[in-house]
Structure 1
Amino acid sequence: MPYRSTEILRADAGHPVPIDVIVLAHDQRHIRRKLLHMQHDDVVMLDLREPVMLAHGDLLLLEGGGCVEIIAAEEDLYAVTPRDRLHLVELAWHLGNRHLPAQIEAERIVILRDPVIGAMLKGLGAEIAEISEPFHPMRGAYHGTGGHGHHHGHGHHHD
């Protein structure tokens, strides 16, 4: 019988010692209800009231005691380095215009590897490096459970 969890303790809260870990990619961490496999073959039935975005280090509190830690999986990414701060803003705008998940930092932007987007960014003057590390994209203003949750007429601009 699987463990069951209906509560999350955020990474920045005090930490009990976890009994195991669950490794999830960024797109697997937006979740409400799912069977999750721990590294040592046990299963947790996560059953939350509403969808959440789990962060690296969050703990799933188990009914009956104990907890399991969420670990962000390493993913194949591009580190995008701009010429300067203004160029970083320009590159972020181009990525946001395409609704791509992005981890925006002070000196770089991290995105999932995509050769077409990589070529576009190089064409805009960015340096691109292939990296493999946990991916922590920014949460959007619209994070519903289906699609991207907003409507503003893609491709139907009225001047």
Structure 2
Amino acid sequence: MIRAETIRDRHEAFEAADTITLDETQRHRRRMAMVSDNGIAFLLDLSGARLLREGDGVVLDDGRVVKVVAKPEPLYAVRGQNAAHLLTLAWHLGNRHQAAQILSDHILIRREPVIREMLQGLRAIVEEVDAPFDPEGGAYGHHSHGDEARSLTAAHSHHG
């Protein structure tokens, strides 16, 4: 079976032989048999578990690269009344250990009615959306983001 032991970062240039469309849970892997969108079967065999990001390339041992596509999932887009309110909402979500993708004007989270009710009680605007989900890696994760998203840890460390 074809093996894949290396991931090309999404910011590197590469030519993709195919794509593989996976939701966020399916993209968090270390070792698993996979099949690309057009039928290339391979064994993902990484040294450690990691979250494959939209645009990353899975390098097959025959030299081909399969580009990762994030499958849209049912999510909530959470918006605040203003930037400070959005940060407060982000704090409440983090306090409840919710996986979250932080964007400049909203937060994406998995749909969960109890959390929606809490957010609406805090005057958040909560909209159901279907979108790719690329959550923050957490304080000890090895995920980095571009200008569109920032970790809350970085936002809180610059208040002095």
Q: TM-score range by the shorter chain?
A: 0.7 to 0.9
Provide the alpha-carbon RMSD of the alignment: 1.4
TM-score, normalising length: structure 2: 0.84
Q: Which 4+ runs in 1 deviate beyond 2 A?
A: none
Which structure's CA Rg is the greater one? 1
The alignment partner of 1:61 has SS state of: strand
The alignment partner of 1:142 has SS state of: coil
The alignment partner of 1:140 has SS state of: coil
2:103 aligned residue: 105
1:117 aligned residue: 115
1:154 aligned residue: none
1:123-134 equivalences under 5 Å are 123-134=121-132
2:69 aligned residue: 71
Unaligned runs of 5+ in 2: 143-160
1:8 aligned residue: 7
In the alignment, the residues of structure 2 paired with residue 130 and residue 82 of structure 1 have an alpha-carbon distance, to the nearest angstrom, of 15
In the alignment, the residues of structure 1 paired with residue 82 and residue 95 of structure 2 have an alpha-carbon distance, to the nearest angstrom, of 20
TM-score, normalising length: structure 1: 0.84
Between the two proteins, the alignment pairs up a number of residues equal to 142
Shift of 1:42: 2.8
2:145 aligned residue: none
Which of residues 84, 87, 94 is equivalent to 1:89? Answer: 87
Unaligned runs of 5+ in 1: 145-159
Q: What's the CA shift string for 1:9-33, capped at 9, x where partnerless?
A: 11100112x2221111112222111
1:27-38 equivalences under 5 Å are 27-38=25-36
1:19 aligned residue: 17
